[in-house]
Structure 1
Amino acid sequence: MLDLTKTENVLQTFVKVRGSLKPEEVVFWWSGNVYSVIPGERNRLLFAIDGYNIGRCVAVEGGYQHLMREITLYKDPASSAVLERWDNPFTASQVEVVHVWNDPVNQQYLLHGPYGPFTLPIVPLSEDRLCASLDIMLAYPSALPRAHYPQYSQSDLYQGAELFQFFFSRSAAEDPARDSIPCDISWTRLGPWLPWMEMADRPGSLLYQCSGYKLDGGYAALPEHIRQYVERRHPEYQHAPTAFTRPNETSWTYFKKQLAQRTQT
């Protein structure tokens, strides 16, 4: 019986769910929608999205390092075509779409980290079904301060929330022969306008709602059109990183780099 009151059991279970106890590549795939949330207005569907995360968990002293990179592609919700340009309905201007190419997005899962023992709420949904929740509240100085990026930045503070739920089998988690177990996910994100939308400091936010699962078969099991897009644009996303590095990339830091390249050409 899995005793989820013990820190080491919670950590090992999460690594099995999120990746693998072995340093093998694991891919999570997701899809969903992105909505505008503006005070006093009806929420509007802006984008459909597809994305994946590819990573490997490496055992280190006191826990694991998770070496990852991830992408999300913004699509036309009517045609499902990957967008390269977007007609912004709020500003009546056309903008270049900057997809999510975050490399790395590394994490550490330690028995005793800087904020105390590793903890994660895991609740039963049925006799064999469990749900682990990971609620991440974010508030930190924006990589794009308004004084320097007024067209692309809503605030000097990046403030948002990333809400994850991982659904898995208790019996699979308890099986000592399994290093990695199947998992379904739900992901909700609330955050500011994306820099490339060129919304300046207009009031409002973006709401992401996605679902997905751990792919049996890894990268090769991704839809063909996604693999073709990745291999044409950023073939390194076929594999997880091999070394733990920091800082992590975000949509804001990536856009800042892309903007700097534009001004140099």
Structure 2
Amino acid sequence: MVGMKLGRRDAVKLVSAGLALGATSTATLARTRVAAPVAGTPEGRFRSYMMMRAALDERLVIGYVSGSYFGVVGAEVTPLWDVVGATFARYRKRPNGGYDGVTGEIAHFLDPGTGEAAGRFLNPYTGKWMTDPRNNLPPSRLTLLPTLELEVPKLLPGTRFDHVIKVPEVRGDDTWITEVTRVGMPAPPGTPGFNYSEMVTLHARTADLQRTDVARVPCLTSFTNVVDWRPWMDMAGHPGHLTAIGSGRYGVTLKDLPDRWTVATRKQFPAFLDDPGALLDPLWNG
């Protein structure tokens, strides 16, 4: 039953595009240097977005977010658990100037007191213990177009998908780009669907975005989401929803990822610490 099994990571499979700074040399870019497009033009906006959120070449790009989840009933907010996730992606340029991407995620829900991915949480609304299924996001395909549109193949029939990249806000040497994603997943008759929305704001230096000798730039990010109760919380019929806040970076290496993520991943998915690109290989090399 789609409506009962889908969770945040299933919804994010439609939109996830976490990216980062890899080890690819900038020498090739330097030898073929051309003037950067004007920042206020459609071409310039797309280039800035790719350099902040993605990359202009095919390097493995890594990003992370670290934050906390809360339950919301009416106007009352209740702390629930922490979350730390890392995203991995590669992008290949298309003849039309867009990029085909493959992206995946490894995320952990953590006990706020211990910082460990215990896999079980006490539900303060029901008084019952909840078991996190601890399923991580398999790799998925997406396409970023020069029009700042995101295309996702093979959406389930009836899925509502809306993704908007807002016009960059530039003040001196600071540039912000905010993207808003809203996903509604269908469900069988009589069963509630699953809704997931997120708002991500990217921040980079304006001068960095005008460089022609790099494929991406350092980028800070802030994150907020609003999402239905997760099916494994056993909250069917209970009013309210979840929300999360967090912050992180795009443009990091494995050693830059939060220690809590590394510890939890070493316990559950140790092979990916030796070869994080293996998460994407089934689709990237396919």
Give me the TM-score of the superposition, normalised by structure 1: 0.78
Contact 1:36 1:45 in 2 (8 A): yes
Q: Quick check: 1:29–1:53 contact (8 Å CA) kept in 2?
A: yes
Match of 1:227?
262
Residue number in structure 1 paired with 2:183: 138
Check the 8 A contact 1:131/1:167 in 2, yes or no: yes
Task: Compute the displacement of 1:2 (Å).
Answer: 5.4
Residue 217 of structure 2 corresponds to 181
User: Counterparts in 2 of 1:218-257, with a 5 A limit?
Assistant: 218-234=253-269, 235-236=271-272, 238-239=276-277, 240-242=279-281, 244=283
Once the two structures are superposed, residues 55-94 of structure 1 have per-residue CA deviations (whole angstroms, 9 ceiling, x without a partner) of 1121123210221111221111122221211121212221
SS in 1 for 2:139: coil
Of 75-84 and 198-207, more deviation after overlay is shown by 75-84
1:199 corresponds to 2:238 = no
Q: What is the DSSP-based 3-state SS (H/G/I as helix, E as strand, rest coil) of the residue aligned with 1:14? A: helix
1:13 paired to 2:48: yes
Structure 1 range deviating more: 218-227 or 183-192: 218-227
Residue pair 1:10, 1:119 contacting (<8 A) in 2 also: no
Distance 1:70 1:138 in 2: 18
- Contact 2:66-2:246 at 8 Å conserved across structures: yes
Structure 1: 5+ residue stretches without partners? 148-154, 246-265
Tell me the equivalent position of 1:259.
none
1:114-133 equivalences in 2 (<5 Å): 120-124=166-170, 126-133=171-178
1:12-55 Cα deviation digits (max 9, x unpaired): 2211111211111111111111110012x621000111111111
Number of residue equivalences:
231
Partner of 1:168: 204
| RMSD value, Cα | 2.5
4+ long deviations beyond 4 Å:
112-115
Partner of 1:261: none
Cα contact 1:48–1:76 (8 A) shared by 2: yes
**Do structure 1's residue 156 and structure 2's residue 192 form an aligned pair?**
yes
After TM superposition, the score normalised by the length of structure 2 is 0.72
TM superposition shift of 1:119: 5.7
CA distance in 2, matches of 1:157, 1:196: 14
**Contact persistence 2:165–2:177 (CA under 8 A):** no
Distance 2:69 2:260 in 1: 21
Q: How far apart are 1:97 and its partner, in Å?
A: 1.3
Whether the 8 Å contact between 1:22 and 1:57 is mirrored in structure 2 is yes
- Contact 2:116/2:264 (CA < 8 Å) preserved in 1? no
Measure how far apart 1:159 and its partner are.
Answer: 2.2
After superposition, the Cα gap between the structure-2 partners of 1:187 and 1:106, relative to the gap in structure 1 and judged at 3 Å, is farther
Determine what percentage of the aligned residue pairs are the same residue: 19
Correspondence for 2:78: 44
1:90 aligns with 125
